[in-house]
């Protein structure tokens, strides 16, 4: 439910983004200002503003006089977003290993426990929320909001594939094992080890991406990994 006392458009952006990431609104599906406004009990103006923000995030396309459509997933765009995430989050992990105190490590351990519970219950939605919180918690250690805003922008491209891959291509136990490896390196104060563990984790999507695209070709606009991923997938597969 929306909080009517707070600005409506940002809340709609979050609500619609979640629905898109969770495949409740499918790639290629039309979005109606009228229907969204009726569903949330608001006027069409904040809906229009939300559509613009989602368009800027690369999740929808506004076609003048034709409507608004959820963009299909682009393999190349997901791979490019992952490239950006690795560049930033590996350095975050490197710095976090030098800055993390016992309280921060304990909080990350609690997050791992929550992830294991979600995985044990087969709750993909909750696991995805815990996954996002885990990465954000590591980002919070280094206290660089601008860097994290860039990461969040990149996640908008990768999250749909991550959600689709949780059941088969990137099973939750494997991701938890990778998260635990990152936490262990942070606990030891091993900067380069933390960066390497983060890199292996973020390259996991390069293994999942072709499999997910092949399994759901109707959800994708292109199927080829870009040149900069050459050599990365085998390395991730061995990790």
User: Does residue 80 fall inside a structural domain?
Assistant: yes
Residues 96 and 46 in one domain: no
**Residue scoring higher pLDDT (62 or 2):** 62
Evaluate whether residue 177 is within a structural domain.
Answer: yes
In a domain, 210, yes or no: yes
Q: Which residues pair with 74 in a beta bridge?
A: 222
Q: Which residue range(s) make up the domain with 224? A: 74-238
Domain boundary residue among 71, 90, 124? 71
Q: Are residues 146 and 233 in the same domain?
A: yes
Is residue 119 included in any domain, yes or no? yes
Q: What is the CATH number of the domain that holds 65?
A: 1.10.10.10
Is residue 2 a part of any domain in this protein?
no
44 lies in the same domain as 135: no
At residue 170, the pLDDT reads 81
Neighbours of 56 (CB within 10 A): 12
Q: What pLDDT score was predicted for residue 107? A: 98
Question: Which CATH number belongs to the domain containing residue 211 in this structure?
Answer: 1.20.120.530
* DSSP state letters, 141-176: HHT-HHHHHHHHHHHHHHHHHHHHHTTTTS-HHHHH
| pLDDT value at 169 more than 90 | no
pLDDT, average across residues 31-50: 94
Query: What's the pTM?
Result: 0.85
The predicted structure's pLDDT at residue 69:
97
Q: 233 pLDDT band (50/70/90 cuts)? A: low
In a domain, 67, yes or no: yes
**pLDDT of 53 higher than 90:** yes
Does residue 146 sit within a domain? yes
pLDDT band at 234 (very low <50, low <70, confident <90, very high): very low
Residue 8 has pLDDT above 90, yes or no: yes
What are 82-112's pLDDT values in tens digits?
Answer: 999 999 999 999 999 999 999 999 999 999 9
Q: List, for residues 211-225, the tens digit of each pLDDT value.
A: 899 999 999 999 888
Number of other residues whose CB lies within 10 A of the CB of residue 203 = 19
Q: Are residues 80 and 198 in the same domain?
A: yes
Q: Among 56, 71, 86, which residue terminates a domain?
A: 71
Nearest to 223 by CA among 232, 233, 212, 234: 212
Bridge partners, residue 69, by sequence: 30, 61
Based on the structure, what is the number of domains in the chain? Answer: 2
- Shared-domain flag, residues 33 and 143: no
Whether 3 maps to a domain, the answer reads no
- Checking if the pLDDT of 238 tops 50, the result is no
Name every residue whose Cβ is closer than 8 Å to that of residue 140 and which is 6 or more positions away in sequence. 148
Looking at the structure, tell me whether residues 86 and 140 fall in a common domain. yes
pLDDT of residue 50: 96
Domain co-membership, 62 together with 80: no
Residues 101 and 162 occupy one common structural domain: yes
Which pLDDT does position 165 carry in this prediction? 85
Residue 11 predicted with pLDDT over 60: yes
The residue written with tokens 């977003």 in the block is 81
User: Are 162 and 122 members of one domain?
Assistant: yes
Residue 125 has pLDDT above 80, yes or no: yes
| pLDDT over 50 (residue 236) | no
Main-chain phi, psi angles of 68, to 5 degrees: -120, 135
Whether residue 105 is found in the same domain as residue 157: yes
Provide the H-helix boundaries in 57-101.
75-99
Q: Are 194 and 230 found together in one domain?
A: yes
Domain end, chosen from 71, 97, 117, is at 71
Q: Are residues 57 and 79 in the same domain?
A: no
Question: What pLDDT sits at residue 97?
Answer: 98
């Amino acid at each position: 439910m929306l909080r009517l006392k707070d600005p409506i458009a940002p809340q709609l952006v979050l609500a619609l983004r979640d629905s898109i990431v969770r495949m409740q609104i499918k790639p290629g599906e039309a979005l109606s200002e009228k229907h969204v406004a009726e569903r949330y009990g608001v006027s069409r103006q904040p809906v229009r503003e939300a559509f613009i923000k989602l368009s800027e995030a690369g999740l929808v396309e506004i076609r003048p006089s034709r409507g608004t459509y959820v963009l299909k997933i682009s393999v190349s765009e997901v791979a490019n977003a992952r490239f950006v995430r690795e560049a930033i989050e590996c350095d975050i992990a490197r710095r976090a290993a030098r800055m993390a105190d016992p309280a921060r490590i304990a909080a990350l351990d609690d997050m791992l426990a929550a992830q294991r519970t979600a995985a044990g219950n087969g709750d993909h939605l909750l696991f995805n929320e815990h996954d996002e919180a885990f990465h954000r918690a590591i980002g919070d250690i280094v206290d660089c909001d601008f860097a994290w805003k860039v990461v969040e922008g990149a996640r908008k491209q990768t999250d749909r594939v991550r959600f689709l891959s949780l059941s088969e291509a990137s099973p939750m136990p494997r991701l938890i094992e990778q998260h635990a490896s990152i936490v262990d390196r942070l606990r030891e104060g091993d900067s380069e080890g933390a960066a390497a563990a983060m890199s292996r984790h973020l390259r996991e999507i390069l293994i999942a991406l072709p499999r997910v695209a092949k399994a759901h070709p109707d959800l994708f606009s292109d199927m080829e990994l870009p040149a900069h991923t050459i050599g990365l997938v085998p390395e991730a597969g061995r990790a």
